[in-house]
Structures are given as C-alpha cells and as structure tokens.
Structure 1
Amino acid sequence: MKNFAVACFFAALGVLANAQPAESLAAPVPPTIDAERARIGMERATLETGFLAEDAECYKRFAVNSCLDKVNVRRREAMADLRRQEILLNDEERRIRGADQIRKTEEKASPENQQEAAERRAKAVSDYQSRLEREKQKTEDRAATQSSAQSNSEASAAKLRGSQEKSQVRTDKQATAAEEAKKLSERQKEAQERKAQHEADRLKQTKPSAKSLPLPQ
C-alpha cells in the first residue's frame, strides 16, 4: 500500500508536469523525486545497519544458520520493496523527460499534431494509473491469498487436533473396556474356584463313615 500511495503521488506530479507552459525548454528532475531517492538511500542504509546488528546477534545463538536465514528473508523483502520504489521513481523521471521532449516537438507542430500529442499524453497518464491500479490489486490479492492460506492451515491443524483427540478418547474407552473385561473374567474365575472349593468341602462333610468290623467270637 505504501508503494501505491507513493506511485499515486508521482502520477499526480506527472499531470502537473504536463500542465507546465510550453515555453519550458528543459525538464529538470522535480525536487520531490530527488528527495524520495535520498529517502530511499537513507532507509536502505538504516535497514542494512539493523540487519547487520541482527546478524551479530544470530552468532550468539545456538541455531546460527536458522537465525541468519530468517534475517536474510526479511532483508531481501525490505530491499526488494525499496528497489520497487526506485523503479517507480525512474519510470516517472523518464516519463517527465519524455513529456518535455514532446512539448518541444509540439512547439513546431501544427494544431492537429498538438492535439494528437495531447491525446497521447493523456493516454500515457491513463496507462500509468492503470498500471498502478493493477499493482495495487496484485498486492491485495497476494495479501488475501496469504490470509486464506493461513486460515486453511489453522483450520487443518484444528481438524487434526480434533481427530487426534477423538482417537485418544476411543483408545481410552477401549483400554477401559478391556480392563473391565479382564476384571470381570478374574471375578468369574474366582467365583468358580470358590464354588468348586465349597462343593468339595460339602462332599467331605456328607461322606458316610466306614462300618465297624464285627468282634471276633
């Protein structure tokens, strides 16, 4: 979004540049472009200083390579963003110089040619603004895609956790059921053993005693 705002400012600057009097014989670079270039240079130096400090901190950690990789990813993204801003500045500077050249040609051209040149300038401005709109849309689409991917990842993770929790519940129930079945089997076995012992004791108690032998005559 920052790039888009800067680019819109340059587009407006280009319109003002086209509206300058035809007597202008040169198209000096607007101070705003030089100021933006200086700002980008200062921002690049500040960022690099910060990243170098982060590199130094990485060397104090155990996972040095992992830390440096993360810093380099952010370094490349930041520097690429500044490079895109520089490209927009260069494009705008070339467009302003090109418009000045067209104005010089128009000074010697017929009214019809001047009208055609004005239409070409208007089309160039329109094309430039369309390009900015497309860049804005791409940025928003990328942000939406990243957000959607993150949401899908979080949903998948939640679904996986739910599935794991259900699986654990089933496992716990099965373990509990197996333990209960084991205890029931042991109780039944103990009951059968007690019953068999009781039956054996009863038989011993009810067995008739042996008859006494007759006395000798």
Structure 2
Amino acid sequence: MKKLFLLWFAGAIGFSAMAQPGEDLASVAADRERERINAERMELEARFNAEEAACYKKFAVNRCLNAIKPLRREAMAQLRLQEVALNDQKRKQKAAEQIQKIEEKSSPEVLQQAAERRTKALQDAQARTERSQTKADERLDLQKNEALNAASAADKAKGSQERAQARADKRAAAAEEREKYNEKQQEVAEKKAANEKKRREQTKPPAPSLPTPN
C-alpha cells in the first residue's frame, strides 16, 4: 500500500507540470484519494468502536482497551500522514503551475533549472514520505511490543496468583484431613477406654457376705 501511494504521489506531482488536462487528472486523483481516506477513517472508527464495545464484555476490560488504543492512534496517524502528503502535493501543484507560467516565457536554461528543481522537489517529497512512514512503522511496532509485554506480564501475574491459591487450598485441605484424623483417633481412644471400663466392672469380684447371727 505504501508503494502504491508513493507511485500515485509521484504521478500526481508529474501531472502538475503538464498542461490543463494533466492538471485535471491530478485533481481528480487527489479528490478520489481524499474520499478513500475519509471512507477508510469511518470504517476504522466503526471497527475500533466495535472492538472497544466488545472489551466491556470481557474479564480484563482495561487490558483489552489498552491493547486497542495504540493501534487506533497509529491507524489514524497513518491516514493523517496521507492527508498531509495530499495537502503538500496540492501546494506543490499550485507552485508548479506558477512556475510553468513563468517557464512558458523563459529561456531554455531557466526551463532546465525549473525541471531540475521539480525533480529535486519530487525526490525530497518522496524521501520525507518514506521517513515518516518508517517512523510510523517503528512506533507501531514499539507499541505492539509494549502491549504484548503488558499482556504477558499480566498472564504471569495471574498464573502466580492461581498457583499461590492452589497451594493455599492444598494446605487447607491437608489441615482439614489432619483434624478429621485426630477426631477419629480421639473417638477410638474414648471408645476403647469405655470398653475397658465396662470390662473391669463386669469382672469385679462380688462383695463378701455378712456373717450369720448366733
């Protein structure tokens, strides 16, 4: 998409140095490009709004929103860069039209110099556009990496919490088992003591009889 845009941009600059039919073609191309940018902006807004709405249905709402925001900013920044390029091209086209009027009354040397200036202006514009695109791509990659790192850290923290909870549950279960075991042992001891007492009472010798009177 970047190369196609640069080719269109270069063609539009070239059109600005041609006669009126060429200028009309450049103007039509610019208008169509603006319409495309506006349509794409509306589509992106609708898509990001839908994604943000979906975030509120998830458990990690803030993490979901934070992952979308940088992507939204970068997408809109890309469209803005294209608009800036269009505006710059329009200004250059007007300047080229003025130069063309002057060149029509100028000498061959002046015409050659003007052609060189146009060539240099095109090269400078292309270089600026490429630098802007490169910086935008680097920012987008950085923001994506930051979002991924944040999500990874959140997942690790969640995993650590879950493991800690599992250990706590295991300790609680073990304590409960020990308590049940102790209670059972206590019941066994009490039952054994009761049986032993009962056995002693049953085997106790009878009391001696009273002496018979004379």
Please say whether Structure 1 and Structure 2 have the same fold, judged by a TM-score greater than 0.5: yes
Question: 2:41·2:79 contact (CA, 8 Å) conserved in 1?
Answer: no
Decide whether aligned partners of structure 1 residues 46 and 170 sit closer, same or farther in structure 2, where only a CA change above 3 A counts.
Answer: closer
Map of 1:146-185 to 2, 5 A cutoff? 146-185=143-182
Identity %: 39
Decide whether aligned partners of structure 1 residues 206 and 16 sit closer, same or farther in structure 2, where only a CA change above 3 A counts.
Answer: same
Question: 1:102·1:117 contact (CA, 8 Å) conserved in 2?
Answer: yes
Name the CA distance, whole Å, in 2 between partners of 1:86 and 1:156: 37
State the one-letter code of the partner of 2:10: A
Question: TM-score, normalised to structure 1's length?
Answer: 0.64
State the one-letter code of the partner of 1:5: L
Deviations for 1:5-39, whole angstroms, at most 9, x for unmatched residues? Answer: 32442124425655x6xxx7x89734133233145
Query: Which residue of structure 1 lines up, in the alignment, with residue 9 of structure 2?
Result: 10
Asked which structure has the greater RCO (Cα within 8 Å, sep 6+), the reply is 1
State the one-letter code of the partner of 1:98: A
Decide whether aligned partners of structure 1 residues 198 and 101 sit closer, same or farther in structure 2, where only a CA change above 3 A counts.
Answer: same
State the one-letter code of the partner of 1:142: R
Question: 1:8·1:129 contact (CA, 8 Å) conserved in 2?
Answer: no
Decide whether aligned partners of structure 1 residues 166 and 77 sit closer, same or farther in structure 2, where only a CA change above 3 A counts.
Answer: closer
What SS does the aligned partner of 2:139 have?
A: helix
Paired residues in the alignment total 191
Cα offset, 1:189, TM superposition: 0.7
Q: Which runs of 5+ in 2 are unaligned?
A: 50-68
Deviations for 1:102-137, whole angstroms, at most 9, x for unmatched residues? Answer: 4525964684x7666555444322221111111211
Cα offset, 1:181, TM superposition: 0.7
What SS does the aligned partner of 1:165 have?
A: helix
Q: Which runs of 5+ in 1 are unaligned?
A: 56-72
Question: TM-score, normalised to structure 2's length?
Answer: 0.65
Name the CA distance, whole Å, in 2 between partners of 1:46 and 1:119: 36
Residues 147-156 or 175-184, more deviating:
147-156
Cα offset, 1:82, TM superposition: 5.8
Name the CA distance, whole Å, in 2 between partners of 1:12 and 1:28: 10
Query: Which residue of structure 2 lines up, in the alignment, with residue 202 of structure 1?
Result: 199
Deviations for 1:81-114, whole angstroms, at most 9, x for unmatched residues? Answer: 6665443223112213323444525964684x76
Name the CA distance, whole Å, in 2 between partners of 1:46 and 1:110: 45
Map of 1:41-52 to 2, 5 A cutoff? 41=35, 44=38
What SS does the aligned partner of 1:145 have?
A: helix
Decide whether aligned partners of structure 1 residues 123 and 86 sit closer, same or farther in structure 2, where only a CA change above 3 A counts.
Answer: same
Question: 2:74·2:136 contact (CA, 8 Å) conserved in 1?
Answer: no
Name the CA distance, whole Å, in 2 between partners of 1:172 and 1:147: 37
Residues 95-104 or 181-190, more deviating:
95-104
Name the CA distance, whole Å, in 1 between partners of 2:199 and 2:140: 88
